[in-house]
Structure 1
Amino acid sequence: MVKTKPVYAFEEADSKKRMLLGGKGAGLSEMTRLKLPVPPGFTITTEVCNKYYDNNKKLPKDLMPAVMKNIMKMEKKTGKKWNSTTNPLLVSVRSGAAISMPGMMDTILNLGLNEKTVEGFAEQTKNPRFSWDSYRRFIQLFGKVVFGVNDEKFDHVLDTAKNAQGVTDDSKLDVESLKTIVSEYKKICETHTKRKFPDSPKEQLELSIEAVFKSWMGERAIVYREKNGITKDIANGTAVNVVTMVFGNMGDDSATGVVFTRNGHNGKKELEGEYLINAQGEDVVAGVRTGQNIELLKKDMPKSYKELYNACSKLEKHYKEPQDIEFTVEQGKFYLLQTRTAKMSAGALVKTSVDMVKEKLINKDKALLRIPAQQLEALLHRTMDESKVKDFKQLAKGIAASPGAASGIVVFDVKKTIELGEEGKKIILVRKETKPEDVPAFFSAEGILTSLGGKSSHAAIVSRGMGKPCIVGCPELKIDYNNNTCTANGITIKEGDTITIDGSEGTVFLGEVPTVEPKVTKDFEQILAWAQKAKTLGIRANADTPEGARLARQFGGQGIGLCRTERMFNGTDRIGLFVDMIMAENVEERNQVLKKLGQLQKSDFIEILKAMEGYEVTIRLLDPPLHEFLPNPEELVEKIQKLKAENKTDEVNDAEVVLKRARELAEINPMMGHRGVRVGITYPEIYEMQIRAVFEALVELTKKKVKAHPQIMIPQISSIAELNHIK
């Protein structure tokens, strides 16, 4: 077995070793191999992360010497110097597991700045404002990630400075204000840690590497892995990528952005994404500022747009998957910072699968295997009823970030969303923007709505991956966390009010808008057709109604594996009859009711068998114990007491009869007691009615030349004697 190193420069690494390098490290290595413009850097492997935890959360002794050796290599490639006061080398420190976990672990930018290097950086760039802003950003990220300082403390200082200068944008702050902010940020960190803020770049780097490893076992990362089925065999630990900083905030000839090689919302073959001029990448991903559509880059920076377009084309053809790409333009020079398989909606996955087969980029087997089954289920979710939408007030319109409709009560707080979700409440999480630590609430919410951010923001990408409806960048939505309200177009919504969001259109409505069944697209039909040809194992649907059977057939179902006949008695026109049958005092009374129920079941069987013409339908005879169709005895006792207090004698007598019967039929062990075949033995007339209804339906359909294939399941058999008796 070849011994691995703890650290690999991008050009040295084998990008096929994704488990060792993590997805980000493998991507940077592969882009370097493809001669694409990637800043120099290196990857600390996932093995080091595991050693860190095996060693009681201490970095291996051989790590930092290997790291510093690679820092020296970066110095030679860039011409910059570590801890230099004239031309300092600055780096970013980024996490990267084998499986993409957007925003779940930590990143630190501008590492290497201190009181001395910031002056050298200002001299080198001829831009003191930019240098001090970079230092300010570094301290905030470092304080949050390494020391665990709450973001709000930094935000308060920043907001105070902006208010004092009368500006709303960070980029408008002058140098003196930024120097003051840096000083205040350091005080916040030092108060929190009871130690001096580290000035040594080596110490900063060592602490940052350790913080990234710690984030692998952070709450949000653990929850994300659990919810997305990310196990140790597919992602064991995180790598750490140390990359030369390139700056998108060095002026109007600099920019940063995120782009998808195909539309992550609908799958169209078009570049989709956003960029910001004079900004750093975290501004786009965090949704702090709403970016401009990537198409506008063609006008703002035509040379960089062309390089981006060519890189997107090259990477998609190479990986044979739509890519999610981060890029930066530093004073006109284009760089790629990351590529990974794009998170897409279920509809986009289906469309891109079909399109890429037509383009001969992938084969049909690959097209089927790249769509997770659980995500495909999102295509079966209901959408807003367009005929009813006009009856509801539109509150706001934002950017459609993840498709689907969702209704729920408005909740602004992350923890409260989780608590109410556990109680079964339907919730729309409403935030200014979302952060990685908010992700546990995403699982509890029906949908997500943010006033800031774009299609490349954290909320959009994570929601899309989860199949949750999401709207971002809704500027008319003014959120007041202090009073738990939001206002748009003169309408104020309080926490607990119900709204509906349409993540396909970006619209927000007051109240609960009715929904309708989804439509099957041609691309979805094509995927299902390919799946039918490729399958080696047949799958049948569960369906208990004609509507369910027709829907199953529409989605490619080839037969019904379980048709639960008791579900057919739940309709408002039937449950009363079924209770009458249970309450019947003799066989004659019971048969009179069963005759009516038999006609209803026969009509259902006709429609179900017709919907599944040519395929088997397994019809299960009555299974649950009879007491389940009667009211709860304890509730009946309470009802009788109330009726007696109201002197309703006739109703009391009726309720007491039902109570007596419910107690007679009550089961100590309802899972194994008097149910299924044993009910059929005790009351053979029930099963006789059901079997007669099946065969009468079959005869009627056969006369009409409909190829029906019913199969009868006898439930809960525990001995051969029961089967022989019922036959």
Structure 2
Amino acid sequence: MSNKRASFITSFGQGSGPSPVLLAGHLGQRGAALCNLARLKLPVPPGFVLNTEACRNIASSDPATVENIKAMLAQGLESITTETGCTLGDKRNLLLLAVRPSAPISFPGATEAVLNVGLNDETVEGLGVSAGDHAFAYECYRRLMQNYAQAVLGDDPAVFDDLLNLYVEERGYVSAREIRGTDGPELASRFKAQIESNNDRAFPQDVEEQLWHAVAALARNWQSPRAKQKRKLHGLKEDAGLAIVVQAMVFGNQSDHSGTGHATSRPAQTGEREVGGDYLTNAQGSDLDARLRQVLAIAGPAPSLETEEPGAFAQLASALDVLEHELKDAVEVDFTVAQGALWLLDARPARRTTSANLRILTDLVAREQITKHDALMRIDPVALDQLLHSTIDPAAKRELVAQGIGASPGAASGIISFDANEARVLAGQGIAVILVRTETAPEDIKGLHMADGVLTTRGGMTSHAAVIARGMGKPCVTGASSLRIDMEAGQLKAAGVTLKRGDIITIDGSSGQVLKGQVAVTKPSLSGDFATILTWADETRRMKVRANAETAHDARLARDFGAEGIGLSRTEHMFFEGDRIIAMREMILADTEKERRIALAKILPVLRADFIELFAIMAGMPVTIRLLDPPLHEFLPREVEEIEAMARNLNLEVAGFKKRVLELREQNPMLGHRGVRLLLSYPEITDMQARAIFEAAAHVQATTGTGPIAEVMVPLVASRGELSAVRARIDAVARDVAKETGQKLEYLVGTMIELPRAALRAADIAEAAEFFSFGTNDLTQTTYGISRDDSARFIGEYTNRQIFPHDPFVSLDVEGVGELIAMAVERGRQGRPGLHLGICGEHGGNPDSISFFEAVGLDYVSCSPFRVPVARLAAAQAHLKLARKS
């Protein structure tokens, strides 16, 4: 065989097989596994693999290439014949073949396999004689024809199922298992006639033609729209290649001493070291998938491999042990028992739950089979969410009402409430509530805090409801656009379903499902393995991990989850609590600075108490407090009825109040009178917040003897002049408080980089700032010119068409927004060498984004409390990846 041909084909058999290092990219998952099994001298039916390049050439149908590959097939068959002593088409020493796809990763339905290749009207008789069972032989022939019709010719398999059932009914049999050898020729004749009727050509009797058409069909089917869609669903690239395995058949359907199954070295739910799996006697692999609907444990109820075929079970357990030691991971195998003999047909890393994965990895480290760093790199950080939130019981019945976007993980049931204030009251009475809104606004924060979950009909992963819910660790479903809210009637309508205020629904914040009624939910369980893994992550990572938190509850939660400080405390959320909103509205409606300061003085003591609590909880850790950011109109009611009610409550003339509210409304509030612009227009707001911060710091320092690490952040800065002007007021207040209290105050003043101009002018701005915190939510909005609250309407189309590789509000746009961040990091440190750098946007909890932040040298990431464990692990992985690259 020429070197060109040899590069297309790899043979395997007992005691043979190339080094596994050479396999992954060319032989697919199954092909690589079989070669490795053969190398380990485990029982594998001999065969060969046509690699991905060969399959691409087959799909191209180039005549010269086709002849070349046909010659390779012939030589591959020679190696199987040499090892088995059997020949394709030889009735006395009959070789039958399995032709199976070998995709880059293991997933069901990549393309259909073709089994029993080599049977025809003559060889079926030979199989009947050699097996001593003509019924078995003709069953294999029938299976080949149905299999071939589906995979090669594209026929509907249901037609052949109906044909078989009709034959069984004619003969008065209870099931197809009663078919006898004497029935075989007649049934085969009917199947052949059906194929010819469907395709205007006969089922091929030439066994080499069968093999070629099976191989060619699998190669072509990999390029079908169905296969491309499956590749996309499983995260494979469009051009991912397929290899094809051609292997000697072994039969699990020959007798009750035969069967088929899946086995794992560790059960998927526990990860403990014990054999588990499924087994079905007198069956082939497709039977296991179709007929085994009840769970049949290998060592459990009959049929049990351990009791039926103890020799095969012992061999299987030994093979799993060898594979786990060799692959240094829990493994799963497909196997066939043929007349008591065990044959392995595939091997791969075992599927497992997140908690089981942590159990497996900590055990492998304890056995010194892998290092701690290896273990960390084998965990999907996002999967840790499963251990932090409630989930719907897998056995629970689901009555789907609507499908939205799973915007914040977890599951919750509660009565429908369309009003945030009502939700707060009901929750205060101990009633579980799901807050249902078209979309949420900042004034809904009290209801959001108290509700068990949030459902909105608009918005996406980065809408207000999604961001706040993730920060609170509450389930949230957004963008459930098939739902209609009728506020006047107090109803929630979907196709064929009408739910009323007070009806119970369940939301699944992971899948985005909205379900009718109360559905059973399982509570999270944090194991010792979870803590162990995070300890290893903390020992490895360079970046610190902080949390976004402004309530004592969130701060304690963040501390419990391992946060090393608060990276963002949004003061505007504090203004919505209790009577503060009344004082805030009084301030907004005031005509003079004096009146505004009187109103703000009412907020000062409660805000100071909030900061005292945060500083105490985060003792010895930094707390970054962002000064007021949103425009003032967000603190005022929006609906006419609410405006009129507030005017009456405040003893104000309704018409004048309406006019003032309308004056404050902005055409584009995201780019309007907010952040530093608001602080410059109303310096008294800066003064009040700064005084609350510094008086709180002085109080904690005086009572504990240790000063808190206070970081004051000015939002939406675009120029050094803006920051310098606000900083001057902050510093002046700090001096006043230090003089009044006799405490020496240690604090930092910095800014949030959330505008492209701020990134461009970072060197200049850094001269007035001691830290930068990148607000990637707004930086992404202003860079793209896209509102994150409205992007859900079209961003899916962009990602589906691969215009954007991913939603930039979920995973950082490294090429655009990332370049601005990298530029700001470099320029900022030029302007101030000791500049402290972090990120507090939603991307702070996204593992892919964290890899970028590690690469550009940020000092910390900050994210919602429930994302802190995810960020701790992702930061460790990012550090390891960067170290390995260098």
Residue-by-residue CA offset, 1:391-436 (whole Å, 9 max, x unaligned)? xxxxxxxxxxxx879885349xxxxx9xx457999999xxxxxxxx
Q: CA deviation at 1:626?
A: 3.2
- 1:679 and 2:678 aligned: yes
Residues 55, 535 of structure 1: CA spacing in aligned structure 2 closer, same or farther, 3 A cutoff? farther
| TM-score, normalised relative to structure 1 | 0.75
Q: CA deviation at 1:255?
A: 1.4
- 1:273 and 2:282 aligned: no
Residues 92, 606 of structure 1: CA spacing in aligned structure 2 closer, same or farther, 3 A cutoff? farther
Code of the residue aligned with 1:263 in structure 2: it is P
Distance 2:686 2:64 in 1: 69
| Map of 2:308 onto structure 1 | 300
Distance 1:303 1:12 in 2: 26
| Map of 1:665 onto structure 2 | 664
Residues 529, 330 of structure 1: CA spacing in aligned structure 2 closer, same or farther, 3 A cutoff? same
| Map of 2:367 onto structure 1 | 359
**Alignment match of 2:630 (pick from 618, 624, 632):** 624
Residues 302, 618 of structure 1: CA spacing in aligned structure 2 closer, same or farther, 3 A cutoff? same
For 1:365, what is the secondary structure of its paired residue? helix
For 2:95, what is the secondary structure of its paired residue? coil
Distance 1:240 1:592 in 2: 79
Distance 2:574 2:290 in 1: 50
| Map of 1:468 onto structure 2 | none
| Map of 2:322 onto structure 1 | 314
Q: CA deviation at 1:359?
A: 1.5
Code of the residue aligned with 2:338 in structure 1: it is E
For 1:8, what is the secondary structure of its paired residue? strand
**Aligned 8 A contact 1:407 1:426 in 2:** no
**Aligned 8 A contact 1:407 1:501 in 2:** no
For 2:244, what is the secondary structure of its paired residue? strand
Code of the residue aligned with 2:274 in structure 1: it is E
For 2:669, what is the secondary structure of its paired residue? coil
- 1:409 and 2:399 aligned: yes
Distance 1:188 1:597 in 2: 83
Q: How many residues are matched?
A: 620
Distance 2:394 2:530 in 1: 16
For 2:535, what is the secondary structure of its paired residue? helix
| Map of 1:236 onto structure 2 | 240
Code of the residue aligned with 2:144 in structure 1: it is F
Distance 2:41 2:559 in 1: 50
- 1:521 and 2:527 aligned: yes
- 1:198 and 2:204 aligned: yes
**Aligned 8 A contact 2:261 2:277 in 1:** yes
**Aligned 8 A contact 2:133 2:181 in 1:** no
Deviates more, 1:717-726 or 1:659-668: 659-668
Code of the residue aligned with 2:256 in structure 1: it is D
- 1:14 and 2:19 aligned: yes
Code of the residue aligned with 2:700 in structure 1: it is L
| Map of 2:719 onto structure 1 | 719
Distance 1:607 1:57 in 2: 78
Residue-by-residue CA offset, 1:134-157 (whole Å, 9 max, x unaligned)? 223333333333333344434444
Map 1:35-434 to 2 at 5 A. 35-52=41-58, 60-161=66-167, 170-175=176-181, 182-183=188-189, 185-186=191-192, 189-219=195-225, 221-231=227-237, 236-286=240-290, 288-290=292-294, 292-295=296-299, 296-383=304-391, 409-410=399-400, 420=403
- 1:691 and 2:690 aligned: yes
Residue-by-residue CA offset, 1:67-109 (whole Å, 9 max, x unaligned)? 1211122122212221233443211122223333344343222
Residue-by-residue CA offset, 1:318-372 (whole Å, 9 max, x unaligned)? 1101111111110011111111111221111111111111122211111111112
Q: CA deviation at 1:194?
A: 4.0
**Aligned 8 A contact 1:408 1:426 in 2:** no
For 1:77, what is the secondary structure of its paired residue? helix
Residues 611, 92 of structure 1: CA spacing in aligned structure 2 closer, same or farther, 3 A cutoff? farther
Deviates more, 1:7-16 or 1:180-189: 180-189
For 1:618, what is the secondary structure of its paired residue? strand
For 2:337, what is the secondary structure of its paired residue? strand
Residues 582, 192 of structure 1: CA spacing in aligned structure 2 closer, same or farther, 3 A cutoff? farther
Residues 102, 372 of structure 1: CA spacing in aligned structure 2 closer, same or farther, 3 A cutoff? farther
Distance 2:169 2:410 in 1: 34
Residues 713, 277 of structure 1: CA spacing in aligned structure 2 closer, same or farther, 3 A cutoff? same
Q: CA deviation at 1:298?
A: 1.5
For 1:256, what is the secondary structure of its paired residue? strand
Distance 1:180 1:348 in 2: 51
Code of the residue aligned with 2:374 in structure 1: it is K
Q: CA deviation at 1:44?
A: 0.7
Deviates more, 1:700-709 or 1:530-539: 700-709
CA RMSD of the aligned region, Å? 4.0
Distance 1:426 1:152 in 2: 40
Residues 407, 151 of structure 1: CA spacing in aligned structure 2 closer, same or farther, 3 A cutoff? same
For 1:293, what is the secondary structure of its paired residue? coil
**Aligned 8 A contact 1:408 1:500 in 2:** no
Q: CA deviation at 1:113?
A: 2.3
Distance 1:583 1:362 in 2: 65
Residue-by-residue CA offset, 1:652-675 (whole Å, 9 max, x unaligned)? x98866654454333344333222
Distance 2:321 2:389 in 1: 33
Residues 111, 630 of structure 1: CA spacing in aligned structure 2 closer, same or farther, 3 A cutoff? farther
Q: CA deviation at 1:221?
A: 4.7
Q: CA deviation at 1:50?
A: 3.6
Distance 1:623 1:56 in 2: 64
**Aligned 8 A contact 2:631 2:673 in 1:** yes
**Aligned 8 A contact 2:280 2:292 in 1:** no
**Aligned 8 A contact 2:17 2:38 in 1:** no
For 1:614, what is the secondary structure of its paired residue? coil
Identical residues among aligned pairs (%) = 36
Distance 1:312 1:721 in 2: 68
Distance 1:194 1:599 in 2: 88
Q: CA deviation at 1:222?
A: 3.9
Map 1:603-618 to 2 at 5 A. 603-618=609-624
**Alignment match of 2:551 (pick from 545, 553, 562):** 545
Map 1:575-614 to 2 at 5 A. 578=584, 581-587=587-593, 590-614=596-620
Distance 1:245 1:654 in 2: 89
| Map of 2:800 onto structure 1 | none
Residue-by-residue CA offset, 1:569-607 (whole Å, 9 max, x unaligned)? 566876666555544555455445544544444444344
Residue-by-residue CA offset, 1:286-336 (whole Å, 9 max, x unaligned)? 565435211132111111110001000011001101111111110011111
**Aligned 8 A contact 2:399 2:516 in 1:** no
| Structure 2 runs not aligned, ≥5 long | 412-494, 509-514, 728-886
Deviates more, 1:271-280 or 1:674-683: 674-683
Looking at CA atoms only, which structure, 1 or 2, has the larger radius of gyration? 2
Residues 58, 537 of structure 1: CA spacing in aligned structure 2 closer, same or farther, 3 A cutoff? farther
Residues 371, 597 of structure 1: CA spacing in aligned structure 2 closer, same or farther, 3 A cutoff? same
**Aligned 8 A contact 1:94 1:241 in 2:** yes
Distance 2:625 2:44 in 1: 62
Residues 726, 273 of structure 1: CA spacing in aligned structure 2 closer, same or farther, 3 A cutoff? same
For 2:31, what is the secondary structure of its paired residue? helix
Residues 289, 568 of structure 1: CA spacing in aligned structure 2 closer, same or farther, 3 A cutoff? same
**Aligned 8 A contact 2:17 2:36 in 1:** no
Distance 1:579 1:156 in 2: 74
Map 1:384-533 to 2 at 5 A. 409-410=399-400, 420=403, 511-513=517-519, 518-533=524-539
